[in-house]
Structure 1
Amino acid sequence: MVVGELAYERDVIIIGGGPGGYHAAIRAAQLGRTVTLIERGQLGGVCLNKGCIPSKILTQAAEKAVSYQEAENWGFEAKAIHFNMKKLQEYKQKTVEQLRAGIEALCKANKVEIVEGSAFFLAEDKVGVENGEKYEVFRFKDAIIATGSTPVPPAWLQEKSERLLDTQSIANLNEIPEKLLVYGSDYIALEIGMAYQALGADVTLILDEGKAEFEFDQSICRELKRILKKKGLNVVRNVDVLELQLFEDNVSLILEAKGKTKTLSGTYLFSSASIKPNTDQLGLNRIGVEISTAGFIKVDHQCRTSRENIYAIGDVTEGPALAVKAIKQGKTAAEAIAGIASESDFRFIPVVAHTQPPIAGCGLTEEEAINLGYDIEIGQYPLSSNGYSTLIGKKDGFIKVISDKEKHVLLGFHMVGHGAVELISSGITALEMAARDEDLIFPHYPHPSMNEGLLEAVEALKKQAVHLPPGLIKERLKV
């Protein structure tokens, strides 16, 4: 086809079929737009095919391994079990394919056209799409860029090897490493490290960039130290990587701390790295879309770029690289195109880790609240005092609530323990509604349940927590 010979007319073009892209496509279709979704790889993007879903299948396997180890407490007696990584990989592939088929069916049901190929802007209202020798041109009224990101390894990690793994390849490992080195201080590094340790690997966590703690509230970091020590998981803090050494059957890191060097070796190295937005091949300079110095597309609260009819969502925009962000932005952009006064605000976006036990947080951390000038109160409730967590044998962890001492407005929620990923939604809702402590104390909570832990954490703000001795309440308030 000659360029410009024929351009197919569409209301909305969406480039990228990850969680943000397909949510945007379906929402726009619901609002009466004709939508074409362009994806050069597999529908569902990195999240479904290489990232979120595969990694959570791994962490679920780890959770089941931990549960099996605890089964004897419930009267189940059995000989040691054998873990078959090949079967887990088969289950992962089956699950991914099933979910991908579900997305395809939803797009079809909503009359979303799916086009395979790589898209790039020809003009501010036109894109070209290449797929092998096939070339098509689409003219649009509005477009949404949802092309995601690519992991960027640290400067010292530039070699390629099957023993060097990143966030998009770790879930494809076909064996449990004898020794696994995990580099990073974010939730992904912690998830991967704890999962493989639960499945039998000897794991060493190496916090990146000379850091001493993981990227959570300080109380969670203190609890993590205890939990990781209890599990026998090694953690190396306050070090810098000087050199990577790659061998046929192992990999080594030469580290420096306080002027001294040490070497750590493992059969594999996983690195949770920074990301680079996938914008290089889009031709954004051709249409004048403004980007940041780091290459991210600048957008407003409705995900609109510097071009009125072009939007951007997900990892290509500034902010946390989380699927929940992309999904919300996708819906926001679709609604903005339809003239709905929708917007995205990520002040209370949750960060969760599917670890053993899980971690979840939203709102301000204790340190952030203090640095912003708040006079704060803290209610912290140990799950060892909760009846339900005791009866199910999941007593590790706590629930922490941060409040403005003067106005009693809730500022942050931070949890580590069984059910934290689900329970954090109550905290998010409370923050979005600018709730006061009394708003969470008044309602009824199911008994027995982990939910009562949240109630007592808020009650601890007022020294009303029944299952905390008076001295412990005072101590928590001084944390």
Structure 2
Amino acid sequence: MSETSFDVIVIGSGPGGYVTAIRASQLGFKVAIVEKSELGGVCLNWGCIPTKALLRSAEIYHNMQHADSYGLSAEPSFDLAKIVKRSRMIASQLSGGIKHLMKKNKVSVIPGFATLTPGKTAPTVNVDGKAYHAKHVILASGARARTIPQAGLEPDGNFIWTAREAMTPDTIPGKLLVIGSGAIGMEFASFFSAFGADTTVVEMVDRILPAEDEDISAMARKSFEKRGLTIKTETQVKSVKTDAKGVTAILSSGGKDETLQFDRVILAIGIVGNTEDMGLEKLGVKVDRSHVVVDEFSRTGVPGLYAIGDVTTPPWLAHKASHEGIICIEKIAGQSPHPLDANSIPGCTYCHPQIASVGHTEAQAKAAGYDVKVGRFPYIGNGKAIALGEPEGMIKTVFDAKTGELLGAHMIGAEVTELIQGYTIARTLETTEHELMETVFPHPTLSEMMHEAVLDAYDRTIHF
């Protein structure tokens, strides 16, 4: 093959793209990856990883402020520039790691923006006036923050931020408005409020974190309000206007308008797939509300063209994109991977307190026709949680009463983003309540609550 001819070309080097490229190389394909910006995509550079670095700083600062409760003393202060610098250094380190992985796995990196035109067995990939050919082209171009220009909800790099601008703030706003209460919105609300911002969160529906179980949403709201956040649900932002002093926002709820002043606004109202200006329409690729429509093996319907990750269907999560890419390339290689079960993909929100879930909520399970058994166990009943000084939280399980199948698990509290994988594995193994009850959980650990939440669903809980 020539330098412009490959078996597989992946467009986009985020967690979907680079993982797919590595797996393709492992399977013996000659692989290239096209990236218009930094290797690692939004996740490693402007999303998952740098935000967690910021939130870690907020967590430590919070603990320093409560040192006395642990018998310690501290005089907490912070340097915002250093906090941001640490986050950026971590992102840079990981992006460099992807460069190493590409070289190690003999993946050719093509810098630039890719467009697609009709080809013989798959679309031709054009980058900076040069044509590249492959038997298979995998689109992993990701997504960007949604904006609403007509309402003034468009980032200006100064007063109105998306997640990207919020990751490199030059100041902690005195008054901050966060529009949207999903994972991104609540993570930034948690970060800025920890460092003193008077934070208001606005959500159009009747509860925050609307994708989570209702019990978890309710507990989260109570916790955030206890920490000083103002939360306005069933509220719409009619408009925002900026001037030299800041932002004027008109909020509407129950037919009444309210005008409030803020120093900064963060938009967290969803994402838009990166599908424009690539030639997808001329190829006949079906795009639904900015996201590419694919089948269970990521095929677009256009011969030789596939799509994975945030540019396709939800959930829009990095680990979903990675797994989706592996399924896609293994199917191309003639293997027999199982189609992705979106309901078994865990979701994590790294606010304080943390939130994690997998599978059906209680309401979803009932709506699907299941007769359910529900178990709950509070953090206050766990010795390790009390010893950590983290007695606030809950673990909830949802089972099929007829078969014992674990339909879903939902958590709020310290380190639940690490705990959730236990239930995720249980779902993958099609574990029932019997196996979970018979499993020995180590003491003292937070994981014991996972056991107790199962026991509680069957009226066998021990410690509460």
- Which of 6, 11, 18 is residue 15 of structure 1 equivalent to? 11
Over 6 Å off, 4+ runs = none
Contact 1:166 1:273 survives alignment (8 Å): no
Measured after TM superposition, the shift of residue 211 of structure 1 is 3.4
Contact 1:20 1:329 survives alignment (8 Å): yes
| Residue aligned with 2:151, SS | coil
Structure 1 residue aligned with 2:197? 201
Query: Could you report, residue by residue, the CA deviation over 1:167-191 in whole angstroms, capped at 9, with x for unpaired residues?
Result: 2221011221111111102111111
State the percentage of identical aligned residues: 33
1:214 aligns with 2:246: no
- Which of 6, 14, 36 is residue 40 of structure 1 equivalent to? 36
Measured after TM superposition, the shift of residue 332 of structure 1 is 1.4
- Which of 127, 132, 144 is residue 130 of structure 1 equivalent to? 127
The 2-side partners of 1:101 and 1:360 are apart by 29
1:226 aligns with 2:225: no
Contact 2:27 2:333 survives alignment (8 Å): yes
The 2-side partners of 1:351 and 1:128 are apart by 34
The 2-side partners of 1:358 and 1:315 are apart by 23
Contact 2:174 2:263 survives alignment (8 Å): yes
**Structure 1 residue identity aligned to 2:126:** V
**Structure 2 residue identity aligned to 1:341:** S
Alignment length, in residue pairs?
A: 457
* More off after superposition, 120-129 vs 191-200: 120-129
Contact 2:405 2:431 survives alignment (8 Å): yes
| Residue aligned with 2:301, SS | coil
**Structure 1 residue identity aligned to 2:226:** K
Structure 2 residue aligned with 1:28? 24
The 1-side partners of 2:346 and 2:433 are apart by 20
1:312 aligns with 2:307: yes
Measured after TM superposition, the shift of residue 449 of structure 1 is 0.1
Change in 2 beyond 3 A, CA 1:62/1:163: same
Query: How does the TM-score come out when normalised to structure 2?
Result: 0.95
Contact 2:147 2:154 survives alignment (8 Å): no
- Which of 74, 83, 88 is residue 78 of structure 2 equivalent to? 83
Measured after TM superposition, the shift of residue 7 of structure 1 is 8.0
The 2-side partners of 1:145 and 1:86 are apart by 36
1:142 aligns with 2:139: no
- After TM superposition, the structure 1 = structure 2 runs for residues 55-94 of structure 1, keeping only pairs within 5 Å, are 55-78=51-74, 80-94=75-89
Contact 1:27 1:334 survives alignment (8 Å): yes
**Structure 1 residue identity aligned to 2:115:** F
1:421 aligns with 2:417: yes
Measured after TM superposition, the shift of residue 255 of structure 1 is 1.3
The 1-side partners of 2:33 and 2:19 are apart by 11
The 1-side partners of 2:296 and 2:155 are apart by 39
Structure 2 residue aligned with 1:450? 446
Structure 1 residue aligned with 2:329? 334
Change in 2 beyond 3 A, CA 1:104/1:375: same
The 1-side partners of 2:396 and 2:421 are apart by 14
The 2-side partners of 1:120 and 1:456 are apart by 53
Change in 2 beyond 3 A, CA 1:213/1:117: closer
- After TM superposition, the structure 1 = structure 2 runs for residues 145-224 of structure 1, keeping only pairs within 5 Å, are 145-154=139-148, 155-161=150-156, 162-207=158-203, 209-215=204-210, 216-224=212-220
Give RMSD over aligned pairs: 1.6
The 1-side partners of 2:295 and 2:72 are apart by 56
Contact 1:126 1:138 survives alignment (8 Å): no
Contact 2:114 2:126 survives alignment (8 Å): yes
Contact 1:119 1:127 survives alignment (8 Å): no
Contact 2:51 2:87 survives alignment (8 Å): no
The 1-side partners of 2:442 and 2:222 are apart by 30
Query: Could you report, residue by residue, the CA deviation over 1:280-302 in whole angstroms, capped at 9, with x for unpaired residues?
Result: 2221233322333x132121111
| Residue aligned with 1:168, SS | helix
The 2-side partners of 1:266 and 1:158 are apart by 14
Contact 1:185 1:211 survives alignment (8 Å): no
Structure 2 residue aligned with 1:266? 262
**Structure 1 residue identity aligned to 2:360:** L
Query: Could you report, residue by residue, the CA deviation over 1:294-316 in whole angstroms, capped at 9, with x for unpaired residues?
Result: 13212111111102321100111
Structure 1 residue aligned with 2:371? 375
Query: Could you report, residue by residue, the CA deviation over 1:87-141 in whole angstroms, capped at 9, with x for unpaired residues?
Result: 112111211111011110011000000011111112243434334xxx3211111
Structure 2 residue aligned with 1:301? 296
**Structure 2 residue identity aligned to 1:225:** R
Task: List alignment gaps of at least 5 residues for structure 1.
Answer: 1-5, 469-479
Query: How does the TM-score come out when normalised to structure 1?
Result: 0.92
Query: Could you report, residue by residue, the CA deviation over 1:370-394 in whole angstroms, capped at 9, with x for unpaired residues?
Result: 1112111111000100011011111
**Structure 2 residue identity aligned to 1:149:** A
Change in 2 beyond 3 A, CA 1:298/1:414: same
